[in-house]
Amino acid sequence: MKNTFTWLPALASSVTITTLSLLGNTTTATAVSFVNSITIPGNSTDLFPLNGASANANLNRLGGFGSDLYYDRANNVFYGLVDRGPGGGTIDYDTRVQKFSLDVDPHTGAISNFSLLSTILLTDAKGKNFDGLDPAKLNGNPTILGRSLDPEGLAIAPNGNFYVSDEYGPAVKEFTPDGKLVREFTTPKNLLPVDDKGNVNYTTTDDSVKFVSGRQGNRGFEGLAINPDGSKLFALLQDPLTEEGSPDGRSSRNIRLVVFDTKTGQSTAQYIYPLESIADINDRIPGTDNDFKSTQQGRNIGISAITALNDTELLVLERDNRGVGVDDPLSKNPVGSKRTFKIDLTGATDVSNISLAGSNVLPASVTPVSKSLYFDIAAELKAAGVLIPEKMEGLAIGPKLADGSYVILVATDNDFSVTQNSTGLQFDVCSDGTQVPLGTSCPSGTALLPSYLFAFKATAEELHGFIPQESAAVPEPTAMTGLALAGVSGVWLKRRREKGGQ
């Protein structure tokens, strides 16, 4: 099994590192600049126990782990949350978390030496695996969420437990560090998906289902963050509620951000996060042929990840559905939005008991969270000549560097480099756009679509107000654990356990 990746350009299966000088890059309105990236091959395997078997997309292929990203600064390790697996909810997949380490240059912030440490399966209290299958397919009943799980957001409690947000519910669950369910939070009733028969309906793969309220299909809690002392969770839907915008929420900009009390598991407030307007996004796209339509505002534009700066301020990764991915491996459609915004909840209206049904416009009585551009990911990558993946879904503030600046990391979800047809038959997607039968070789000179980790450097001034969260030491899982880096040269940024953290 592959568990440690080093930069060996002569090998097709190795990680590739792309670096850009930090000097002279002024594409953003803030002092955040692209440093470098790591490319993790699409045919890599995780540590699911298959006795050294080759990558199997439905079992042990190392993919999809950029659904969210969390940096545990107390232990100097990273966690990548894996999505519901290949097949888009139509095929069995044991949901999981990937634990890994990186070397971080303490001066430049450049990342290197990706090393997979462990693969942690998520199970219920009885040890049965959570499954990426759509609830209707797994349970035979779309009104039961059960063990169906589409993991999209990840945060770690001070005691080392995992908080995972789910799109199917939407839901928030707590797991032990070895992946065993502890409890489920109470989802606000107005977010639950209700169909035209008046039933709560958790399915997302049946296009014949007509939803009338609650989260849109496949648009549940996409972002999850924890405040510095671990008392609050922030969960952000990917797009507006079905009834809060016409038609079906797809022309609205208004997304609900929910605050949970981690002690009680109950929500304490809801706020409105406004998506960037479709008009502003279209203005960045040359010409008009490929512009987004008004009904794509609350569907093709959405949020992918959030991370907390302190008790009231957060960073939000917002994106469109364009870029290199299984649906467009050659990125023929121009990218309009891959941006990170800074928001502040101070002064925003609690809309827990306020309905926005039937309107794309906020009433005058509702004040949304304040929002400003933090840095433009797509512009930074374009200036560096780096390709822009579609699904940038993981966002984390990494280690503090020698000059007081911080590394900000962005991770991608590559969908395991798999697509499927209407009957569920799967195909591997190659970098030239070729689709081949699952598990067969791509054409010569091409490869499966990889996963990416991007490193950016933010000055201390740019992260003014950031209060790092310190986690307790997390015990190493007893199964599916890889080897630590050995004999690999590189600069390792050690975690300093100082008062106040880093």
pLDDT in tens, 247-257: 999 999 999 99
Residue 67 C-beta-side C-alpha neighbours within 13 Å: 31
Band (51; pLDDT cuts 50, 70, 90):
confident
Span 417-446, mean pLDDT?
94
Residue 482: the pLDDT is 44
Cis, bond preceding 450 (omega within 30 deg of 0): no
Residue 27: the pLDDT is 38
What's the N-to-C CA distance of the chain in angstroms?
34
The residue with tokens 């925003």 is 348
Residue 30: the pLDDT is 57
Report residue 36 as tokens: 């470098």
Position 28 pLDDT exceeds 50:
no
The residue with tokens 């990911």 is 377
Band (500; pLDDT cuts 50, 70, 90):
very low
Helix, strand, coil % over all residues of the chain, rounded to 5: 5, 35, 60
Band (207; pLDDT cuts 50, 70, 90):
confident
Band (423; pLDDT cuts 50, 70, 90):
confident
Band (52; pLDDT cuts 50, 70, 90):
confident
CA gap 354, 412 in Å, rounded: 35
Span 338-358, mean pLDDT?
97
Instruction: Supply angle C-alpha 364, 365, 367, rounded to 5.
Output: 85
Position 311 pLDDT exceeds 90:
yes
Position 493 pLDDT exceeds 60:
no
Q: Where are the beta strands (DSSP E) in 262-312?
A: 267-274, 302-308
Residue 430 contacts residue 99 (beta carbons within 8 Å): no
CATH placement of domain 16-458: 2.120.10
CA gap 198, 211 in Å, rounded: 9
Task: Calculate the alpha carbon distances from 350 to 271, 302, 306, 359, 446 in Å.
Answer: 5, 21, 19, 18, 51
The helix/strand/coil state of 220 is coil
Among the residue ranges 6-15, 399-408, 461-470, the one predicted with the least confidence is: 6-15
Residue 491: the pLDDT is 33
Position 189 pLDDT exceeds 90:
yes
Residue 255 contacts residue 236 (beta carbons within 8 Å): yes
Position 456 pLDDT exceeds 90:
yes
- Sorted by sequence, the CB contacts under 8 Å of residue 172 that are 6+ apart come out as 163, 164, 165, 166, 184, 185, 187, 221, 224, 233, 235, 260, 265
Position 497 pLDDT exceeds 60:
no
Residue 397 C-beta-side C-alpha neighbours within 13 Å: 30
Residue 180 C-beta-side C-alpha neighbours within 13 Å: 7
- Look over the chain and give the mean of its residue pLDDT values, rounded to a whole number: 89
Report residue 382 as tokens: 């374009």
Residue 470: the pLDDT is 64
Span 150-178, mean pLDDT?
97
Position 333 pLDDT exceeds 70:
yes
Span 434-441, mean pLDDT?
95
Band (197; pLDDT cuts 50, 70, 90):
very high
Band (314; pLDDT cuts 50, 70, 90):
very high
The helix/strand/coil state of 15 is coil
Q: Where are the beta strands (DSSP E) in 194-328?
A: 194-195, 211-213, 221-226, 232-237, 254-261, 267-274, 302-308, 313-319
Position 367 pLDDT exceeds 50:
yes
CA gap 226, 469 in Å, rounded: 8
CA gap 129, 332 in Å, rounded: 38
Among the residue ranges 72-86, 191-205, 232-246, 480-494, the one predicted with the least confidence is: 480-494
Position 486 pLDDT exceeds 90:
no
Report residue 227 as tokens: 């405040």
Residue 427: the pLDDT is 97
CA gap 317, 464 in Å, rounded: 19
Band (488; pLDDT cuts 50, 70, 90):
very low
Residue 17: the pLDDT is 60
Span 433-450, mean pLDDT?
96
The helix/strand/coil state of 226 is strand
β-pairing verdict for 313-319 and 338-344: antiparallel
Say how far residue 339 (Cα) sits from the centre of its chain: 14
Band (287; pLDDT cuts 50, 70, 90):
confident
CA gap 37, 257 in Å, rounded: 30
Span 387-411, mean pLDDT?
97
Span 223-242, mean pLDDT?
98
Residue 16: the pLDDT is 59
Residue 8: the pLDDT is 29
Position 484 pLDDT exceeds 90:
no
